[in-house]
């Protein structure tokens, strides 16, 4: 890994009753790095992401951020560390417009005498600024997001995450329900986020997408980290072999 270390997971384990869902899983994510997490259903991908997001806790193992040991016991802990999760549901309210969704739960207000009212202009201006920074094309900010395309809704949801200082965004199959053109918009946005120094951990079954955006590919099988490889050094066939056989091919060495 060439990038400066941001997040390091060391020997994480997770049990569900008698199921050993994660077995001594280690992974490092660098600053401004896109890491794709791949594997068959049941490999442990979502469990690992939920632990990083604070939605679940590991039973043992260590997590460090920029070299300092830390604990992620809740989504609030993750947020305080600059870790944000883009859920498949997106968390948007279809009847609300773009800036209302971006500021949902964090509305800006202004005072008129003793009364506080929503500062819609401030929210709209900040939403335009956020979308502009990421070169996101949403022609009409005032229409309900329900009327927008899937790709546009994904972009609005990602913009919402960036209201806070975000170091790492976790994505679980963000292009799964999108067409080719819409999926490409999200891929392009991921590249722009990387250029801004934001790290991405993305779960995806689409190896074409993975090879187009990932700096490294981490392969999980049956709760074990098989290894991490560079898409520059391997083929899709190599990665499929790792996923199906659990064999770690020669690339960046053993799992980190």
Q: What is the mean pLDDT of residues 43-59?
A: 94
A 10 A CB-CB count for 241 gives 16
| Tokens representing residue 26 in the block | 């280690």
Q: State the pLDDT at residue 27.
A: 96
- Quick check: 7 pLDDT over 80? yes
Least confident of 32-41, 75-84, 162-171: 162-171
Flag whether the pTM goes above 0.75: yes
pLDDT value at position 254?
A: 38
Residue 57 is classified by DSSP as: -
Q: What is the pLDDT of residue 250?
A: 59
- Full set of structural domains in the chain with CATH: 1-82+165-256 (3.40.50.300), 93-159 (no CATH)
Nearest in space to 141 (alpha carbons), one of 169, 116, 166, 120: 120
Gyration radius (Cα) of the chain, Å = 19
Give yes or no for residue 212 having a pLDDT over 60.
Answer: yes
């Amino acid at each position: 890994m060439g990038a400066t270390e941001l997040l390091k997971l060391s020997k994480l384990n997770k049990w569900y009753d008698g199921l050993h869902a994660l077995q001594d899983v280690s992974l490092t994510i660098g600053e401004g790095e896109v890491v794709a997490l791949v594997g068959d259903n049941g490999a442990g991908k979502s469990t690992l992401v939920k632990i990083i997001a604070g939605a679940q806790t590991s039973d043992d193992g260590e997590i460090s951020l920029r070299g300092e040991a830390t604990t992620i016991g809740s989504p609030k802990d993750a947020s305080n560390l600059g870790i944000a999760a883009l859920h498949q549901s997106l968390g948007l309210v279809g009847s609300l417009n773009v800036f209302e969704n971006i500021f949902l739960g964090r509305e800006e207000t202004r005072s008129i005498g003793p009364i506080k009212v929503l500062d819609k202009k401030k929210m709209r201006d900040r939403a335009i600024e956020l979308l502009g920074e990421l070169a996101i094309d949403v022609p009409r900010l005032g229409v309900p997001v329900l009327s927008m395309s899937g790709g546009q809704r994904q972009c609005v949801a990602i913009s919402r995450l960036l209201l806070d200082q975000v170091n790492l965004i976790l994505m679980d199959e963000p292009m799964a329900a999108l067409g080719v053109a819409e999926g490409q918009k999200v891929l392009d946005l991921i590249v722009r986020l990387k250029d801004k120094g934001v790290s991405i951990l993305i779960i995806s079954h689409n190896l074409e997408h993975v090879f187009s955006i990932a700096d490294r590919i981490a392969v999980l099988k049956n709760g074990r980290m098989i290894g991490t490889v560079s898409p520059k050094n391997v083929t899709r066939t190599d990665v499929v072999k790792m996923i199906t056989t659990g064999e770690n091919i020669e690339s960046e060495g053993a799992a980190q």
